[in-house]
Amino acid sequence: MKNLSIVICVSATLLLNVMWVSAQSSEGVHIVDLSQTEIRIFNKAKKLDTKAANLLLTDSLFVPHANFWSSYVGSKTEFLRWIRKSVYPNLKEMNRLNNRVNREAIVKKIAEADALQRPNVVYVVFGPGCTDVGKFTDGTAVIDLLHGQNALSGL
């Protein structure tokens, strides 16, 4: 019970202090930059026991953006499996990449997209690296900073 109370307090604190870059670009595209929040939460969760970490990860990252994560990674269970198997072993490199990200270049990349193909919402994430820039059927798009193309360019 004590661990659960700690996780709830940590979750609430992180959610209140979340520094999501959520902005409307001049082209009318809503940009949701989860990358910095992900890094902060991944680092915190890695130090917790599995139950507490899963609660923190789902409450702070998955639930608020369930439609996006479900489309890109899969169910909550698949999301947590991805973090355990891919994120935690590579967290040191992800922290390094996070410090190199050129967020202005991201906005420029979105602005340069063809107006007819431009998405309504763009999520900027440290995801599984499946795509550099991808678009879902609902008009939402993703820029995955772990895709080789983006990681190498320092996007």
> Any idea where the domains of the chain sit in the sequence?
2-153
Average confidence (pLDDT) over 72-91? 96
Comparing 55-64, 85-94, 98-107, the range with the smallest average pLDDT is 98-107
- Give me the pLDDT at residue 144, please: 87
| The token pair that represents 137 in the structure block | 């059927």
DSSP-H helix ranges across the chain: 2-16, 35-46, 50-57, 66-72, 76-82, 91-100, 103-111, 148-153
Residue 61: C-alpha distances to residues 13, 49, 70, 83, 125 (Å): 14, 17, 12, 11, 11
- Give me the pLDDT at residue 24, please: 47
Whether the pLDDT of residue 77 is over 90: the answer is: yes
Average confidence (pLDDT) over 36-48? 97
Highest mean pLDDT among 5-9, 40-44, 97-101, 142-146: 40-44
Q: How far apart are CA 41 and CA 57, in angstroms?
A: 7
Confidence class for position 8, pLDDT limits 50, 70, 90: very low
- Give me the pLDDT at residue 112, please: 72
- Give me the pLDDT at residue 5, please: 47
Whether the pLDDT of residue 149 is over 70: the answer is: no
* pLDDT tens, residue by residue, 94-131: 999 999 888 788 777 776 765 556 678 889 999 987 77
Whether the pLDDT of residue 53 is over 90: the answer is: yes
Q: How far apart are CA 108 and CA 123, in angstroms?
A: 14
Residue 123: C-alpha distances to residues 8, 30, 31, 53, 152 (Å): 26, 9, 6, 23, 19
Confidence class for position 2, pLDDT limits 50, 70, 90: low
Average confidence (pLDDT) over 79-100? 94
